[in-house]
Amino acid sequence: MICGECMRSLLLAGGRSSRMGRDKALIEVGGVACIARVASALAAAGCEPIRIAVAQPEDVERYGLVMPDGLDIEWVLDAFTHAGPIEAVVEALSDPLVSDVDSIQLCPVDVPWVTADLFFELEKTLAPGDLLAIPADPQRIHPLLARVRPAVASTIGDDRRPLHVQFSEMEHSTLLTETAILRNVNTPDDLN
């Protein structure tokens, strides 16, 4: 297998957006939909192909309309609709196509200020003996922005505790970074 054909990142876009009250993927920040901003940052960091996990088939068409041309994207449906990020992460990392990849960049759809530089830094931060590199601000870690090795899937196994708990218990590196680029949009107030 040529690693150029393997997934390099997983963009999680299958959430309900219930606290926001509308689809976070399509919310525009600076005139660009969140999903397009995040995918562009992943592509700029060399994290293509980008696997985008969505909840429903119609999401592929809706999200595809706002995506920049030329991105190497693989659309996949979550096996369990709205089951949460743990299921999507385990499913993606258990894919046989991932076995030849050293690590994969995770990213949720609701971090429109994330940068390619963060993804470059996480890749450099991932130490040889670690399962993942987690970005953190002074307040907390951000597990859905972690750089992870495929072995994380078997370490998670059937454990459904929150990812921030599980990831903090795994061998990991931490990258302290600016709060502003890690900021996510969960409610309308987060856009101000």
Write out the chain's pLDDT in tens, 192 residues: 234 456 799 999 977 665 666 788 999 999 999 999 999 999 999 999 999 999 899 999 999 999 999 999 999 988 776 667 888 899 888 888 787 889 999 999 999 999 999 999 999 999 999 999 999 999 999 999 999 999 999 999 999 999 999 999 999 999 999 999 999 887 777 777
pTM, 2 dp: 0.91
Question: Which residues make Cβ contacts (< 8 Å) with residue 122, sequence separation at least 6?
Answer: 105, 133, 135, 145, 146, 147, 175
| CATH of residue 172 | 3.90.550.10
CA–CA separation, 157 and 153 (whole Å): 6
Within a domain: residue 34? yes
The amino acid occupying position 62 is: R
9-13 and 104-108 strand pairing? parallel
Within a domain: residue 192? no
Within a domain: residue 156? yes
Q: What residues make up the domain containing 127? A: 3-184
Q: Given this model, what pLDDT does residue 14 score?
A: 78
Q: Which helix (H) or strand (E) holds 173?
A: strand 172-176
Within a domain: residue 189? no
Within a domain: residue 49? yes
Q: For the chain, what is the domain count? A: 1
